[in-house]
Amino acid sequence: MVIPGISHDDPYADLSAYVSLPRISGLAVSPDGCRLILTVATADRGGNRYTTALWELDAAGVGAARRLTWSTGGESAAAFLPSGDLLFTSARPGTNPGTSRLPASLWLLPAGGGEARVVAAPPGGVRGVAVAREAGTIVLGSAMLPSSADAAADRELRASREASRVSAILHEEYPVRYWDHDLGPDRARLLVIEGGADEGGADEGGADEGGAHPAVAAGPRLRDLTGHVGRALTDEATWDITPDGRTVVCTWAVAEPAGSQRHTVVAIDVGTGDRRTLAGDAENEYDSPRLSPDGDWVAMRIRRRTSLQEPGDWLLGLVPVAGGEVRELTARWDRWPHSACWAPDGSALVVAADDGGRTPLWRIDAATGRPDRLTTDGAYASPQVSADGCWVYALRSSVDSPPVPVRVAMDGTGAAKSLLGPGYSAVPGRLEEITATAADGTPLRAWIALPRAGSVRKPYPLLLWMHGGPPGSWSAWHWRWNPWPAVARGYAVLLPDPAMSTGYGTGFIRRGWGAWGDRPYTDLMTITDAALARDDIDPARTAALGGSFGGYLANWVAGHTSRFRAIVSHASIWVVDQFGSDSDMAYYWHREIQPQMMADHSPHYFADSITTPVLVIHGGRDFRCPIGESERLWWDLVSRSAGADGSTPHKFLYFPDENHWILTPNHAELWYATILAFLAHHVLGEDWERPGILG
């Protein structure tokens, strides 16, 4: 979609160019700290999918980045071996014969150069690869059918199901879905690669030019460490292995009454498979275990369990691998740490945590729990500490900058140094902050994205964009819900953090807990008033947009004010009690969603008050906020339309094969094009122009 009158040197003005921008994710650091590996996604020529490739960076930021892999199946970095060889996962054709789909296999790329080769190709794919830093033992996750005794039996069972065209799943526990896919019939197990990766895979030889590889049998080298454990190894489960390769620590889900479950952390003996619980009390949940460099301690996230009254809390904790009391390291710190990694000497951990519209890196003293801030601005992800303990490597983004690799001094001195990675285009505008005060005296803040000075005529029409969650923050770059294509068309975009946002303390989240339509809504209106008071904003031309919980807020706004000219509601919640039971995590939502909350805060009760045109958007494979929410919303809108000819100002954009997020490049382009056309019609007063690809 090209916009007349706007420079097409700006990829944000051309949606085809925007969805084709390279997208960086993932970061792996070699044992010697000299090599950095990034995963970079680019759109294929047809715009049907993003394909990932591995790039190597110079850790000093001097040499140029170079691309390492090229297959059509795509690659993602997994881990380094002690030798410096790189393990990666790839769904390259030919590595898993006898299966119609292409599950990811584990590959090895030698440190000294040469062709990649397959290490393991279980029929259920590979994820979560962990390597013992000294012994080189490899533990990975792979999905297997319940009755499979080993990978060979699993392959035969899958072939039998496929030949019989059986797709049915018999569920015996909850949950049954996760985000965008069904759970089962195969479930994850932990597998150990016997003998390490240096002995070679079941087949030797390199990939051909198209990325294919000769047929590979799973081989006897994969040993099942856990057997079939049902729900225990969820899609969120992560694991780590001690340097000597003797013990795996892992997130482990356990069943509770009334369809609930909670996450614990367990230790598993690699030799025997014996399992013991390290952290598993009923008052807390535990995840993301990370072993200390000496293998004696496990760092993990602790979550206080939510209830009708309490939003819970996230802490960083430590527990001995040998067993003992869990020590709550950051109990006095009113921030939510995540992405923990250890300093090489075990004296500290580096974490990321939201703080006032940013996500800085922090150094947490392992003895005292004291947090020291390492960065001043931006949002940081995937932190890794260098082998000498001097540097933290991470991906830095911000609302106005996509992720880029950076190096940060471990002692917090100096600014983050950008490393030389794949390039990107600067955004077509500038970012400022807005502050206000809520009715209860609470300070509020928001980002506002504005066009470049002189690029378009003032005052600018305003778009209020509401983030998902509910806990969340406009602190980082978002490819899926990005303000800059709208800014390139002359809009100002307001990105507020209302009640329930992260980075302002647990009390700020508690302000809206169990009362979604109260302070989250009034905070949004207060900060919008502050934006509209600016001389460069046009108060007569406004719209409100939101996705997920932001979609809930968009629906709530539609039923409680007519101040906006248009509303966009993506993947939203419309009927709260229906959502609470139909979502893929009903047990979680029902801790907060109780009868009185449903009665007081369900947007559908205010359908009769909606007079603003609404664009409804949903994906058919959204299991977090199921499609039934938007189907009910659509009916409640059109059944109240008063046009004598049956016409309605509302529209419904439906993607049958997308999920909570619209991910494929061509669909993402259409998503933006439809939203911008809807806004141009209702906010700018232009004629309605249906995006051409919609026919």
Q: Is residue 77 predicted with pLDDT exceeding 90?
A: no
Q: Is residue 200 predicted with pLDDT exceeding 60?
A: no
Query: What amino acid occupies position 230?
Result: G
Q: How confident is the model at residue 357 (pLDDT cuts 50, 70, 90)?
A: very high
Q: Percent of the chain beyond pLDDT 90?
A: 83
- Domain assignment present for residue 245? The answer is no
Domain endpoint, select from 228, 250, 278: 228
- Domain assignment present for residue 116? The answer is yes
Judge contact between 224 and 246, C-beta under 8 A. Answer: no
Q: How confident is the model at residue 668 (pLDDT cuts 50, 70, 90)?
A: very high
Render pLDDT for 577-616 as a digit per residue (tens, 0 to 9).
Answer: 999 999 999 999 999 998 999 999 999 999 999 999 999 9
Structural domain total, the chain: 2
Render pLDDT for 113-137 as a digit per residue (tens, 0 to 9).
Answer: 889 999 999 999 999 999 999 999 9
- Domain assignment present for residue 191? The answer is yes
pLDDT of 204 reads: 32
Q: Helices (DSSP H) in 115-266: which residue ranges?
A: 151-164
Tell me the sheet residues that pair with 53.
40
For residue 620, the number of C-alpha atoms closer than 13 Å in the C-beta half-sphere is 4
Domain endpoint, select from 197, 213, 228: 228
State the residue range of the domain holding 95.
69-228
Structure tokens of 262? 């909670």
Q: Is residue 212 predicted with pLDDT exceeding 60?
A: no
Q: Is residue 214 predicted with pLDDT exceeding 70?
A: no
Q: How confident is the model at residue 695 (pLDDT cuts 50, 70, 90)?
A: low
Q: What is the 3-state secondary structure (H, E, C) of 265-285?
A: EEEEECCCCCEEEEECCCCEE
Render pLDDT for 8-47 as a digit per residue (tens, 0 to 9).
Answer: 468 999 999 999 999 999 999 999 888 999 999 999 988 8
pLDDT of 101 reads: 59
- Comparing 203 with 687, the larger pLDDT belongs to 687
Q: How far is CA 57 from the centre of its chain?
A: 24
- Domain assignment present for residue 327? The answer is no
Q: Is residue 3 predicted with pLDDT exceeding 50?
A: no
- Domain assignment present for residue 557? The answer is yes
- Domain assignment present for residue 424? The answer is no
Residues 431-456 have a mean pLDDT of 95
- Picking from 202-216, 278-292, 424-438, 531-545, which range would have the lowest pLDDT averaged per residue? 202-216
Tell me the sheet residues that pair with 460.
537
Q: How confident is the model at residue 220 (pLDDT cuts 50, 70, 90)?
A: very low
pLDDT of 476 reads: 97
Q: What is the CATH number of the domain that holds 639?
A: 3.40.50.1820
Q: How confident is the model at residue 92 (pLDDT cuts 50, 70, 90)?
A: confident
Structure tokens of 456? 């378009």
Render pLDDT for 520-563 as a digit per residue (tens, 0 to 9).
Answer: 999 999 999 999 999 999 999 999 999 999 999 999 999 999 99
Domain endpoint, select from 228, 249, 278: 228
DSSP codes of every residue in 574-605: -SHHHHHHHSTTHHHHTTT--HHHHHHH-GGG
- Domain assignment present for residue 270? The answer is no
pLDDT of 5 reads: 36
Judge contact between 376 and 392, C-beta under 8 A. Answer: no
